């Protein structure tokens, strides 16, 4: 495969462009900016699988009426420590913001809260939502279901999603610790991004339709992805389905995939938690302990070939700092798709 040329794009113009696209499709202005910010923030952090790669997909779903751009998001069940939210088929970001805000408010009262969501859609990178809790001196969790691209352990039929989960923990002087991971070896969007860039993917990410290891991202997407850590990743996938799907009334992988084929609402389920640190110990003391933990981990002697020891999420924070300064590398194939959308919506492009 021949590599695709890249252009560095500034964060602000890219975010503004995406916001104008979604506003041009009748999203309320605040919602349009939220969706744009969540996607471009993912690209800033180097998580291209959940960045502007999603824009063409979102646009197509909105245009065919598969997503409700004016949802009436409601709490349908409530206890002192939990909520169940009906997202009314809104864009996942719009629903997730409301749900995590409710989780944070509830945790202030009870110390810990859980919020389940049904009738939602793709919410982009989970770190965006878990970090909402970190900003309030809480620990945040975010889990979501996904369409079927993985077989159960020992099987070959695509029945499970990449089912990502995220946990974010505040620190003091150090970066927050943020684990944001698919339960597959790689997110499906990583293969889509590699295909966009005309790149191979590592062996071990996916099998083709004939169950052979492949490094061709298109063949991998046509076949099936593999769980991270073998049967352990499979177990994590199942448990995400239990929390984000079974518990909330949300769909599971095969149901989402059928909805994608038929143009019906996806009914994606999410699960959020917020933990009030002050309910356990003083926030400053906790953050100091986390900072010390980070320093201890970094004291490790480096293995051969390693240049540093990083904590979960640290690479993404550092990447975001660099890209805010230097720009986000975007393949021209991606920019060409965005420019076509701009023409269709009737907005200008200013890379």
The reported pLDDT for the residue numbered 3 is: 79
**Res. 1 pLDDT band, cuts 50 70 90:** low
Intervals of CATH 3.30.1370.60 along the chain: 71-184+227-299
Intervals of CATH 1.10.1530.10 along the chain: 1-64+314-351
Give residue-wise pLDDT tens across range 138-147. Answer: 999 999 999 9
Calculate the average pLDDT of the chain.
98
Assigned CATH for 71-184+227-299: 3.30.1370.60
Query: What is the spatial distance between Cα 260 and Cα 77, in angstroms, rounded to a whole number?
Result: 28
125 contacts 94 by C-beta, under 8 angstroms = no
Percent of the chain with pLDDT over 70: 100
Q: CA 265, 131, 14, 186 torsion: positive or negative?
A: negative
DSSP bridge partners of 138:
276
Q: What angle do CA 34, 35, 36 make, to 5 degrees?
A: 90
Fold for the domain defined by 1-64+314-351 = Hypothetical Oxidoreductase Yiak; Chain: A, domain 1 (1.10.1530)
Mean pLDDT across 130-142: 99
């Amino acid at each position: 495969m021949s590599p695709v040329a890249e252009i560095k794009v500034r964060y602000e113009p890219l975010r503004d462009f995406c916001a104008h696209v979604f506003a041009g499709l009748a999203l309320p202005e605040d919602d349009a900016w939220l969706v744009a910010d969540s996607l471009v923030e993912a690209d800033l952090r180097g998580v291209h699988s959940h960045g502007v790669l999603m824009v063409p997909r979102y646009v197509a779903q909105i245009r065919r009426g598969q997503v409700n751009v004016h949802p009436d998001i409601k709490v349908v069940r409530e206890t002192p420590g939990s909520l169940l939210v009906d997202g009314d088929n809104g864009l996942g970001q719009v629903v997730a913001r409301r749900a995590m805000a409710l989780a944070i408010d509830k945790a202030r009262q009870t110390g810990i809260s859980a919020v389940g969501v049904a009738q939602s859609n793709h919410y982009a990178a989970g770190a965006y939502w878990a970090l909402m809790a970190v900003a309030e001196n809480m620990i945040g969790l975010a889990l979501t279901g996904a369409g079927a691209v993985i077989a159960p352990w020992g099987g070959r039929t695509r029945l499970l999603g990449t089912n990502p989960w995220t946990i974010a923990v505040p620190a003091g002087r150090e970066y927050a610790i943020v684990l944001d991971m698919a339960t597959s070896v790689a997110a499906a969007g990583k293969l889509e991004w590699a295909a966009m860039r005309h790149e191979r993917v590592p062996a071990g990410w996916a099998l083709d339709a004939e169950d052979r290891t492949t490094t061709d991202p298109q063949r991998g997407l046509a076949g099936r992805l593999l769980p991270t850590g073998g049967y352990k990743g499979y177990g994590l996938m199942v448990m995400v389905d239990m929390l984000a799907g079974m518990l909330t009334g949300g769909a599971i992988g095969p149901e989402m995939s059928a909805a994608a084929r038929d143009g019906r609402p996806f009914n994606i389920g999410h699960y959020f938690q917020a933990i009030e640190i002050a309910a356990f110990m003083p926030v400053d003391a906790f953050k100091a302990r986390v900072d010390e933990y980070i320093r201890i981990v970094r004291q490790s002697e480096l293995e051969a070939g390693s240049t540093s020891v990083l904590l979960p999420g640290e690479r993404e924070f550092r990447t975001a700092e660099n890209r805010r300064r230097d720009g986000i590398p975007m393949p021209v194939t991606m920019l060409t798709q965005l420019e076509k959308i701009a023409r269709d919506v009737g907005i200008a492009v200013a890379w």
